[in-house]
């Protein structure tokens, strides 16, 4: 009886540590999957591939660009279509922190963008973003809420 008790006691002491280690590995894998999806968004935006860009968003996603509100994957695809002679030359999302809690994650970071209108010189911009990601039933992380702002003129 005593060896069984010792085995059960040892298992109960090591199981939380093993679960914590597994959770840490899972969270790291989730953060990498989210960062990868962010890179896919940027690549699709630069390529003007609104199909691939839309696939990064959940069907019920909400986009909150400055001064607007756009609802649903198809409307978000339309929002990102290049207008007129505009061309997106570069785009990046750099996470400052990603917090994962089950099937939801919050990603806060800095976006940078370089674009050009016609033959004009390229212009660049950057600002802060906040994205809420959801892990959907297929296991992929998709954007549920996406908002950003541009820096103020005084800093």
Could you say which DSSP state residue 136 is in?
Answer: -
Gap between the Cα atoms of 69 and 65, Å rounded:
7
Task: Tell me the per-residue pLDDT of 44-85, one tens digit each, with 9 for 90 and over.
Answer: 999 999 999 999 999 999 999 999 999 999 999 999 999 999
Taking the model in full, what pTM does it have?
Answer: 0.81
CA dihedral (78, 79, 80, 85) positive or negative = positive
User: 123 in a domain, yes or no?
Assistant: yes
User: 155 in a domain, yes or no?
Assistant: no
Percent of the chain with pLDDT over 90: 78
User: 154 in a domain, yes or no?
Assistant: no
CATH of the domain at 80: 3.10.450.50
Query: What's the domain count of the chain?
Result: 1
User: 107 in a domain, yes or no?
Assistant: yes
**Which residues neighbour 21 within 8 Å (Cβ) at sequence distance 6 or greater?**
none
Cα→Cα distances 19→14, 105, 137, Å: 9, 20, 23
pLDDT higher than 70, residue 19: no
Structural domain containing residue 75: 2-149
Q: Distance between terminal CA atoms of the chain?
A: 70
User: 117 in a domain, yes or no?
Assistant: yes
């Amino acid at each position: 009886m005593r060896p069984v008790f010792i085995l059960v006691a040892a298992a109960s002491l090591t199981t939380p540590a093993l679960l914590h280690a597994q959770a840490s590995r899972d969270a790291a894998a989730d953060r990498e999957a989210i960062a990868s999806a962010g890179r896919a968004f940027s690549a699709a935006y630069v390529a003007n591939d609104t199909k691939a860009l839309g696939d990064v968003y959940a069907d019920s996603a909400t986009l909150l660009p400055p001064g607007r509100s756009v609802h649903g994957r198809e409307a978000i695809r339309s929002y990102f279509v290049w207008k007129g002679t505009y061309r997106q030359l570069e785009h990046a999302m750099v996470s400052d922190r990603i917090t994962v809690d089950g099937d939801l994650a919050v990603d806060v970071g800095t976006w940078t963008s370089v674009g050009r209108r016609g033959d004009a010189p390229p212009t660049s911009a950057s600002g802060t973003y906040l994205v809420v990601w959801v892990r959907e039933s297929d296991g992929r992380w998709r954007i549920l809420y996406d908002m950003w702002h541009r820096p103020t003129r005084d800093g």
